[in-house]
Copies of this chain bind each other. A is one copy, B any other.
Amino acid sequence: MTRVPAGSDVAREVWSTLADLVINHDRKREVAEATGISFAKTRALRRVALEPLSMGELATLLVMDPPNVTTLVDDLQEAGLVRRQPHPSDRRVMLVVATPSGRRLAQLADDILERPPAGLVRLPVADLEELRRILTLVR
């Protein structure tokens, strides 16, 4: 008889199922098609559409090296999706801000990415509510 730490095995099982669910519902291609830009760029755009970020913050969030963020933002800027705005109090930092058309494109990506898989939609409402409740506890 082996005694196992309470929820940890269940947690592992749940996590595996969860990760599979998300990975098998991958919409990167669809998003790239719809937006006309690479998924990496969409990801950056969606992030700055949430709130303006400095180049460095963006690099950290995207786990990219700063030089590569520079060229990525260059491309987004040329496409008119973001603009660079000097930081008001520190002239070393550049804030990346989504333009209106950038926000629209980010929204388009959101619409695709937030579309839940069929299996989830088919769940009884009570179970969905329960899922929502539990997920808010995960922090």
Contact = CB atoms under 8 A, between A and B. Distances in A.
B114 A138 contact: no
Q: Give the number of copies in the complex.
A: 2
B128 A11 contact: yes
Candidate in A14, A19, A117 with the most chain B CB atoms within 10 angstroms? A14
A1 interface: no
Interface residues of A, number: 42
A6 B120 CA distance: 13
Contact of A120 (B119, B131, B138): B138
B12 A135 contact: no
A22 B12 CA distance: 13
Interface of A: 6-8, 10-19, 21-23, 29, 63, 113-117, 119-125, 127-132, 134-139
